[in-house]
Amino acid sequence: MRFMIIIKASADSEAGVMPSQELLTAMGNYNEELVKAGVMLAGEGLHPSSKGARVRFSGEQRSVIDGPFIETKELIAGFWLWKVKSREEAIEWVKRCPNPMPGTEAEIEIRQVFEMEDFGAEFTPELREQEERVWEQAKKN
């Protein structure tokens, strides 16, 4: 099972405050543990929403909204992509994580990633073939 682990933004992360050397060291050590355990597939921090944009869809219309975005609790400061045996294992790994936002309350969200078989009969053999072809090309890029 794959899970996306979402680190919620804080006022400091949205203000562009960089993590301390101590936090970078602790996170580096944690990431090393995840890799050695075969759990971590990817992981990155994100720039503040002031450098981002959103695209809103309304029927055929598209509108672009430039950051920053107001509600910090709904923003993402970083993520991991993990492969684990269960939701419970993902929770246990998150509980071992250094506090990503020292000096304040922090929240990390755990969301399971869809696998092809989760889509059932609607995901036809042709769609499966297309999906596999797209991911093979993406790996080459």
Looking at domain 2-140, its CATH architecture is: 2-Layer Sandwich (3.30)
Cis omega (within 30 of 0) on the bond before 48? no
End-to-end CA distance of the chain: 24
Is the pLDDT reported for residue 73 higher than 80?
no
**Residue spans per domain, the chain:** 2-140
pLDDT at 15: 93
Q: Give burial (CB, 10 Å; 0-12/13-18/19+) of 120.
A: exposed
Question: Which pair of tokens denotes residue 82?
Answer: 């993990």
The 10s digit of each residue's pLDDT in 21-52 is 999 999 999 999 999 999 999 999 999 999 99
The CA distance from 28 to 62, in Å, is: 39
CA distance 112 to 120: 17
Cβ neighbours, 10 Å, residue 40: 19
- By DSSP bridging, strand 76-83 and strand 40-45 are antiparallel
* pLDDT (tens digit per residue) in 94-113: 999 999 999 889 999 999 99
